[in-house]
Amino acid sequence: MPSKYSYQPCREFNVVVLGAGGVGKSCLTAQFVHNEWIESYDPTIEDSYRTQISVDGRQVVLEILDTAGTEQFVAMRDLYMKTGHGFMLVFSISSRTSFDELQTLRDDIIRIRDDEKIPIVIVGNKADLEDQRAVDRAKAFALSQRWDAPYYEASARTRTNVDEAFTDLCRQMLRRDDSEEEAREEILAQRAENLAAKRRRRRKRKEKCAIL
């Protein structure tokens, strides 16, 4: 028996990667999309990548927006936040300030989207730099619980938890899309039912008039 989603078309989602400057947003994206490691640091203005992946047997096209972490480009953030279906919030485990900056980013996303349940994944990058750790794992997990958003300690350098973090975000976006689709279908079914009931009532009234 075919599953409910067998015949569904490929879904397309916009993913926005946000975080302070130099935390590894471009490196995580490059590892995920191209399997490549970038040693040099070239601050991003805005880069967009398109890739297709399979999640639980379903094809998903991702348009990934790698955003600028440096202050001079933050004005563009509101625009990214309006268009994203899911957000990857990245900090570096070796930088306490990059962790603290996530709060403002999340507040802005929720303010702009007016939606507490928007798909978010938190990534503590540079996990290979354990000797330079400035953010306790427990602190990051506490934030993850408060926001009800999964947390991954990742390393773009060693390619640890890169696919896992993007896949988790994809699953959240798919789940959300499915429940919105179900809600739309329910509304349409309800409308059709209301229309049919109205027609039945009209027909009954007409029948009564004929007898008179």
Ligand X SMILES: Nc1nc2c(ncn2[C@@H]2O[C@H](COP(=O)(O)OP(=O)(O)OP(=O)(O)O)[C@@H](O)[C@H]2O)c(=O)[nH]1
Question: In the bound complex, which residue of the shown chain has the CB atom lying closest to ligand X?
Answer: 69
Q: Report if residue 64 touches ligand X, rule: CB under 6 A.
A: no
Beta-ladder partners of 123: 90, 152
Shortest distance, position 34 Cβ to ligand X, whole Å: 13
Beta-ladder partners of 91: 124
Classify 134 in phi/psi space as left (phi over 0), alpha (psi -120 to 50) or beta. Answer: alpha
C-beta of residue 161 within 8 angstroms of C-beta of residue 155: yes
C-beta of residue 60 within 8 angstroms of C-beta of residue 141: no
How far apart are the C-alpha atoms of 161 and 24, rounded to whole Å? Answer: 13
Interface with ligand X by CB under 6 A: which range of 15-23, 57-65, 187-195, 196-204? Answer: 15-23
| Interface residue with ligand X, options 33, 53, 74, 129 (CB under 6 A) | 129
Residues 148-167 within binding reach of ligand X (CB under 6 A)? 155-157
Map tokens 């789940």 to a residue.
Answer: 175
How far apart are the C-alpha atoms of 22 and 18, rounded to whole Å? Answer: 11
Q: Report if residue 44 touches ligand X, rule: CB under 6 A.
A: yes
C-beta of residue 152 within 8 angstroms of C-beta of residue 161: yes
Closer to ligand X by CB, 69 or 84: give it: 69
Interface with ligand X by CB under 6 A: which range of 2-10, 67-75, 81-89, 179-187? Answer: 67-75
How far apart are the C-alpha atoms of 18 and 111, rounded to whole Å? Answer: 16
Q: Report if residue 31 touches ligand X, rule: CB under 6 A.
A: no
| Interface residue with ligand X, options 39, 116, 131, 148 (CB under 6 A) | 39
Shortest distance, position 68 Cβ to ligand X, whole Å: 5
Residues 70-99 within binding reach of ligand X (CB under 6 A)? 70
Q: Report if residue 102 touches ligand X, rule: CB under 6 A.
A: no
Shortest distance, position 179 Cβ to ligand X, whole Å: 32
Query: CB within 8 A of 171, min separation 6: which ones?
Result: 55, 56
Q: Report if residue 108 touches ligand X, rule: CB under 6 A.
A: no
Size of the site for ligand X (CB under 6 A): 24
Strands 151-153 and 120-125, by their bridges, are parallel
| Interface residue with ligand X, options 126, 151, 153, 168 (CB under 6 A) | 126
Binding site for ligand X (CB under 6 A): 19, 21-27, 38-41, 43-44, 68-70, 125-126, 128-129, 155-157
